[in-house]
Amino acid sequence: MRRSLASFGCALVLLACAGCQRDEHRKKLIVIIVPSQDNPYFKAEADAAAARALALGYRVRVDAHEDDAFRQDNLVDAAIASNAAAIILDNAGADATVSAVRRATRAGIAVFLIDREIDATGIAKAQIISDNDQGARLVATEFARAMNGKGEYAELLGRESDSNAQIRTRGFHAVLDRYPELKLVSAQSANWSQSEAFQKTETMLQAHANIAGIIAGNDTMALGAGAAVKSAGGSNLRITGFDGSPDAIDAIKDGELRATALQPAVLISRLAVDEADRLLRTGSTGEPELQIIPCELVTASNADNYRNFEKVR
C-alpha cells in the first residue's frame, strides 16, 4: 500500500512538470466573473466580454458567483491560482468584494469591475458602470408623460440592500415628486423577482382599484406586474421597467410595457476588455478609474433599434 502511494506521488510530480512545460506556450488568461449565467443580462454581459477577449487573442474562462460573496472569493482565488492576467468582475456586493479585489491586485492581477461599483477606490484598475440615476430619471420622465402628469401609481422596488435599488428609486422620485397630481399609493419591494412582483401587484390592485401606473425598479418586476394586471383583467395601466432586457423590449413592442432604460451592458463589457488589453500591452488603461456610461430610453418608437442590451441600429 505504502509503495503504491509513493509511486503514485511520483506520477503526480511528473504530471505537474509536464503541465508546467506546456504552460509556457499558452496564451494569457482573462477570467470573467458574473453573478449568474441563467439571467439574460449577465449572460449578455459575460458573452460580450468573452467574445471580445477571444478576438483579442486571450484564453477566457467564465464563472458565476450567484451573488454569494464567499463563492466570489473562491472564484477569485481560483483565478489567482490559474495565473490569470486580468479579471473582469461584476461583483457580489460593494463591501464584501473589497478584500477579494485587494488580494487579486496584490497577486499582480488587473481587476476590472463592471456594472457595479465597490466601496473602495485605487485597488481596481477600472470601475465601469451604467448611470442608474440618469436612467431612472429618463424612465420616470417617460412614465409621467404616459400618465399625463396625474393619477395614482404604485412603485415596485428592488432588493433594499442593493445600492442600485436605492439609486433608482431616488432617481424616480427626483422626477415624479415634482408632479403634484401624481400620487404614490403603494411602494413595495419585490426583490427584483418576477413571481414576487406578480403577487405584490395582485395585492396592491386589490387594495387600490384606481392605480393607473406602476413604475418598477427592473424589467423582471415590470413583467411580473404586467402579468398580474393582465390576470386581474385590467388594461391600459402604464408600466415601466429598467435594464432593457429582450423580454421587456418585446413587451414594449406588444404594448404591455411603456418604457425601459437600457443599461449598455454589452458596451461596458467590451470597454472593460479593451482597457484590460491596453493595460497588459502598454501598462496603462488610458482612462480614469471610475467611468459612468449613460443609459438609453427604449419606448415603442425606437424598440426595434435595441437587441440583447446593445444598440444595433
Partner 1 sequence: MNSTTRNQPRTSRFAWAAARAVLFFLRARAILVLLLLLVLFSVLAPEFLTANNLSILTKHVAISALLAVGMTFVVLTGGIDLSVGSIAGLGGMVAGYLLTQGFSFGGAMYFPPVAVVILLTICACLVVGALNGWLVAKAGVAPFIATLGTLYIARGAALLISNGKTFPNLGGGAVRGNTGFPAFGQSFMLHVPTPVWMMVALFAVTWVVATKTPFGRHVYAIGGNERAARLAGIRVAQVKVITYVFSAFCAALVGLIIAAQLEAAHPATGESFELNAIAAVVLGGTSLMGGRGSVTGSLIGAFVIGVLADGLVMLGVSEFWQIVIKGVVIVLAVGLDQLQTRLQARILPYLTTAQAEEGKS
Distance CA 292, CA 290 (A): 7
Q: Which helix (H) or strand (E) holds 113?
A: strand 110-114
Nearer to partner 1 by Cβ, of 119 and 304: the residue is 119
Task: From 225, 312, 234, select the one nearest 267 (Cα to Cα).
Answer: 312
Distance CA 243, CA 150 (A): 25
Q: How far is the CB of 160 from partner 1 (least distance, A)?
A: 6
The three-state secondary structure class of 243 is strand
Find out whether 188 and 215 touch, Cβ atoms under 8 Å: no
Q: List interacting residues with partner 1 (CB under 8 A).
A: 8, 11-12, 15-16, 19-20, 22-23, 26, 37-38, 60-64, 67-70, 73-75, 77-78, 80-83, 93-96, 98-100, 119, 159-161
Nearer to partner 1 by Cβ, of 120 and 184: the residue is 120
Task: For residue 188, give the DSSP letter.
Answer: E
Find out whether 77 and 101 touch, Cβ atoms under 8 Å: no
Alpha helix (H) residue ranges in the chain: 2-23, 40-55, 69-81, 98-106, 132-146, 163-176, 194-207, 219-231, 246-254, 265-282
Q: How far is the CB of 13 from partner 1 (least distance, A)?
A: 8
Q: How far is the CB of 223 from partner 1 (least distance, A)?
A: 24
Q: How far is the CB of 81 from partner 1 (least distance, A)?
A: 4
Nearer to partner 1 by Cβ, of 167 and 232: the residue is 167
Q: How far is the CB of 287 from partner 1 (least distance, A)?
A: 27
φ, ψ (nearest 5 deg) of residue 61:
-135, 135
Chain centroid to CA 246: how far? 14
Nearer to partner 1 by Cβ, of 38 and 209: the residue is 38
Q: How far is the CB of 168 from partner 1 (least distance, A)?
A: 17
Nearer to partner 1 by Cβ, of 6 and 174: the residue is 6
Nearer to partner 1 by Cβ, of 20 and 312: the residue is 20
